[in-house]
Amino acid sequence: MKKNIFHFIIICIALVSCNEQKETDVNLVKYNKNLVVAKQFIDVFSSKDSAKEASLLSDDFKWNGSEIGQDSLSKEVLLKGDRDIMRMFNDIKLMNADYYPGVDSTYKINSEVRVYGTWVSKFVSSGKTSKMKYYAVFTFNDAGKITVLEEHCNIADLTKEL
């Protein structure tokens, strides 16, 4: 009887483990697809292509910016702010970008994309360089569109000339 209970417990643990692995595998596949879109978003922003940038965002997109009170803002607000940045700066590049999968509250991989890096650009007015450390989390819908963009940076660093 004890052997049967022991075997039952082992089988249950194995089944739970297999299900968790399958979930992780599915999320890694989704993450890899979403990673392509996140990198494309960074690239089209760097190339100042706001029309292409808009096409990567869902209709119900929400932006959570770094400044106090900047959360759940619309696609239009993000795009206007990005166009302003595109007018102020040239040679916009995300340097030393590191991309990672997101994790849920139990630290299991989900399909979000996290990125760390440093934005480097040149002021149009002076040609001087600007640097800003950056962290963002991209969340996607099933269609592969970005539904939420959470950005964390010190916006004051963006306006400092080096």
Check which CATH number belongs to the domain holding 85 and give it: 3.10.450.50
Distance CA 57, CA 145 (A): 5
Over the stretch 119-153, which tens digit does the pLDDT of each residue have?
A: 999 999 999 999 999 999 999 999 999 999 999 98
Output DSSP code: residue 73.
B
Number of structural domains in the chain: 1
- Say if CB 13 and CB 119 are below 8 A apart: no
12 token code pair: 């249950």
Q: What is the pTM of this model?
A: 0.82
5 token code pair: 């209970």
Reported for 129-137, long-range contacts at CB under 8 A and 24+ positions apart, including other chains, are 129/161, 129/162, 130/89, 130/157, 130/158, 130/159, 130/160, 130/161, 130/162, 131/157, 131/162, 132/157, 132/158, 133/157, 134/94, 137/102, 137/112, 137/113
10 token code pair: 């082992």
CA angle 18, 20, 25 (to 5 degrees): 95
Over the stretch 69-111, which tens digit does the pLDDT of each residue have?
A: 677 899 999 999 999 999 999 999 999 999 999 999 988 889 9
- Quickly count helices (H) and strands (E) in the chain: 4, 5
Q: Which domain does 149 fall in, by range?
A: 2-158
